[in-house]
């Protein structure tokens, strides 16, 4: 009874409002428990526990995580070398004129221009994931864990793969199972790690299966334009909201909504001046362009969005665009 009274008291206080949301991993909050953040400048509003009683994970209705232990509020145009939110967290700037969407990411090289989209980078190598390993033990179909030998990909820290994805290859036709990683243990003396996922496997796991792990896709975002070279096997994650001066910096990247874009990195590119030039794509190094102006123009370029308006007389040097990567 006393525990229930404590929970009721906590909920009443947070329904009134406050600046503190339960930190990731705390115990004692039921799935679906709510909290309201009403002070500060970032992420105010309703948060819901997407975790369980033993490991809470309060996420705002827009997709923003609670501030991590040791972290602080980080506004859209601020940078920090400390990680303040879960990677991939979604922040929506609401207000007159519509909304703009941002995602929280780690820029692993210096972002010295805002003309190029930042690319997902290094997601499939052996150090940022587990390319293929067999489960070390069987698991029931109702289980949400799998233990693998990750020794060949180096030592891994606790929760390093949080927000990434695990795929179980059952070796049956068209029967791969993919789940999101909620947490993982650090590598033990044998190089083994145990991953906990968001939903049960739905199929009994055997040691004859194969496991692949890809890290959080926002863990390494890079500028590949302006002399950094392209990577035609990776896609653009978003447009940087601010420049950085050092690598391994945590930033917000815009993924949706109105933005002025410098097409193809040229100061007076004529994109959108001709009639019917509306659709924008990303070129191989991350620059934004009209399809026919791309390097090796094909229909396979990544969609970037469309031009909202552009003065045909050229008095507005940069077109106002609707960015359309991730809403």
Indicate whether 78 belongs to any domain. Answer: no
pLDDT number for residue 232: 80
Whether residue 201 is found in the same domain as residue 252: no
Structure-model confidence comparison of residues 260 and 304, the more confident one: 304
Indicate whether 154 belongs to any domain. Answer: yes
Of 66, 85, 104, the one marking the end of a domain is 66
DSSP character for 9?
H
Of 181, 214, 247, the one marking the end of a domain is 214
CATH assignment at residue 172: 2.40.30
pLDDT number for residue 125: 57
> For residue 12, what are the CA distances in angstroms to 7, 23, 33, 36, 105?
9, 18, 11, 10, 34
pLDDT number for residue 13: 57
Whether residue 188 is found in the same domain as residue 146: yes
Number of structural domains (the chain) is 3
Segment 163-206, tens digit of pLDDT: 999 999 988 766 789 999 999 999 998 889 999 999 999 999 99
67 has a pLDDT exceeding 50: yes
Range of the domain at 246: 236-324
142 has a pLDDT exceeding 90: yes
CA distance 67 to 74: 9
Segment 211-232, tens digit of pLDDT: 999 889 999 999 987 667 767 8
Exposed/middle/buried for 185, CB within 10 Å: 0-12, 13-18, 19+? middle
**Mean pLDDT along residues 122-135:** 74
Q: What is the pTM of this model?
A: 0.89
Structure-model confidence comparison of residues 309 and 28, the more confident one: 28
CA distance 47 to 173: 40
Quick one: tokens of 86? 């879960």
Segment 249-275, tens digit of pLDDT: 999 999 999 998 876 655 445 666 677
- Nearest residue to 134 via CA among 176, 169, 179, 182: 169
Whether residue 154 is found in the same domain as residue 199: yes
- Nearest residue to 261 via CA among 91, 120, 93, 116: 116
């Amino acid at each position: 009874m006393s525990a229930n009274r404590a929970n009721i008291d906590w909920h009443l206080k947070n329904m009134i409002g406050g600046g503190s949301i339960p930190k990731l991993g705390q115990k004692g909050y039921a799935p679906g428990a709510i909290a309201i953040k009403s002070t500060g400048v970032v992420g105010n509003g309703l948060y819901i526990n997407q975790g369980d009683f033993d490991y809470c994970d309060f996420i705002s209705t827009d997709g923003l995580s609670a501030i991590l232990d040791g972290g602080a509020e980080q506004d859209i145009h601020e940078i920090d070398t400390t990680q303040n939110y879960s990677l991939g967290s979604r922040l929506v700037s609401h207000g007159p004129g519509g909304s703009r969407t941002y995602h929280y990411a780690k820029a692993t090289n210096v972002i010295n221009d805002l003309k190029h989209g930042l690319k997902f980078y290094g997601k499939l190598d052996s150090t940022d994931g587990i390319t293929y390993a067999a489960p070390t033990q069987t698991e029931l179909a109702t289980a949400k864990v799998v233990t693998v030998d990750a020794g060949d990909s180096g030592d891994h820290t606790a929760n390093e793969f949080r927000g990434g994805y695990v795929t179980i290859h059952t070796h049956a036709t068209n029967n791969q199972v993919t789940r999101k990683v909620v947490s993982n243990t650090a590598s033990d003396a044998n190089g083994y790690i145990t991953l906990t996922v968001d939903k049960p496997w739905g199929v009994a796991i055997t040691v004859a299966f194969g496991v692949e792990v890809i890290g959080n896709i926002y863990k390494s975002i890079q500028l590949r334009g302006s002399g950094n070279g392209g990577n035609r096997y990776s896609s653009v994650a978003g447009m940087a909201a601010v420049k950085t001066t050092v690598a391994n910096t945590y930033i917000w990247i815009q993924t949706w909504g109105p933005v002025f874009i410098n097409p193809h990195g040229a100061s007076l590119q004529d994109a959108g001046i001709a009639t019917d030039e509306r659709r924008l794509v990303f070129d191989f190094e991350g620059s934004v362009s009209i399809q026919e102006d791309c390097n090796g123009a094909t229909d396979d370029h990544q969609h970037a969005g469309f031009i909202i308006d552009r003065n045909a007389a050229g008095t507005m040097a940069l077109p106002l665009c609707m960015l359309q990567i991730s809403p």
